[in-house]
């Protein structure tokens, strides 16, 4: 028996990178996938014959609510929620406009809140569920030119821990993954200089791959593997945070 048989997993931000790698692994472990992204077309081939692909704008409450409603209408329930949608850019704090900061918070933090806000009541009613929020090791240590990103990811950790305390009584387990630098399309707006300097800091000497992060999500989603994890931020980070 596969680890996620009979489970419906909603993965937001599934079109590429870590979200895509998690979707691929979850499908191999028997999950029925509901995959969502701004780029819905990129999710179609990933979702499999039992799954569904959806377009979502995580910055819009109406869009996220419509997504959750559509997934429940199609699949009947949501057993696992993975919040992996995000943006990344580099900007010194002295040059950062309020608009740039607000956009980062809207997508990377508010978008996670919205998905949790609409999915958590369903899991409470089911008396079961797993919520996995993708944060970053920069939530712990900060990063030059990454104040807005680090703030958003630190917010995810606070949100995750608070939800973990609130929802545990309903057997809804909330955790985060705080990866180190991962080679994904998200790095497209980051300078080669920043990437080179960051890579040189890592004890492992290299960035991770998305498929090296996905097993951590499987651990947290599966039972009994993830049954004792609550309010944690697991760190596949090449040794960047110890």
Sketch the domain layout of the chain as residue ranges.
8-234
C-beta atoms surrounding 135 within 10 Å? 29
C-beta atoms surrounding 81 within 10 Å? 29
118, 149, 170, 229: the active-site residue: 149
Which band of pLDDT confidence, cut at 50, 70 and 90, is reported for residue 229? very high
110-132: per-residue pLDDT in tens?
999 999 999 999 999 999 999 99
What pLDDT does 59 receive? 96
What mean pLDDT is predicted for residues 145-162? 98
Q: State the CATH class of domain 8-234.
A: alpha beta
What pLDDT does 1 receive? 79
Q: What is the pTM of this model?
A: 0.95
C-alpha pair distances (Å), 106 with each of 21, 38, 87, 99: 24, 15, 10, 10
64-79: per-residue pLDDT in tens?
999 999 999 999 999 9
- Residue 149: active-site member: yes
210-223: per-residue pLDDT in tens?
999 999 999 999 99
């Amino acid at each position: 028996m596969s680890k996620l048989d009979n489970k419906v997993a909603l993965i937001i931000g599934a079109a590429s990178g870590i979200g895509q790698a998690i979707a691929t692994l979850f499908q191999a472990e028997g999950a029925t996938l509901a995959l969502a992204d701004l780029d819905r077309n990129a999710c179609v081939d990933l979702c499999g014959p039992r799954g569904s692909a959806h377009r979502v704008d995580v910055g819009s409450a109406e869009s996220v609510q419509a997504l959750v409603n559509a997934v429940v209408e199609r699949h009947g329930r949501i057993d696992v929620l993975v919040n992996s949608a995000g943006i990344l850019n580099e900007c010194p704090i002295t040059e950062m406009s309020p608009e740039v900061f607000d956009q980062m918070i809207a997508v990377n933090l508010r978008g996670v809140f919205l998905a949790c806000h609409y999915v958590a009541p369903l899991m409470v009613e089911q008396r079961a569920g797993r919520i996995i929020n993708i944060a970053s090791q920069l939530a712990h240590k900060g990063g030059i030119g990454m104040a807005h990103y680090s703030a958003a990811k630190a917010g995810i950790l606070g949100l995750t821990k608070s939800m973990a305390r609130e929802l545990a009584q309903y057997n809804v387990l909330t955790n985060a993954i705080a990866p180190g630098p991962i080679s994904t399309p998200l790095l497209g707006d980051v300078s080669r200089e920043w990437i080179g300097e960051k890579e040189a800091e890592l004890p492992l000497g290299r960035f991770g791959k998305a498929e090296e992060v996905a097993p951590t999500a499987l651990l947290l989603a599966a039972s009994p593997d993830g049954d004792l994890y609550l309010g944690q931020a697991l760190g596949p980070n090449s040794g960047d945070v110890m």
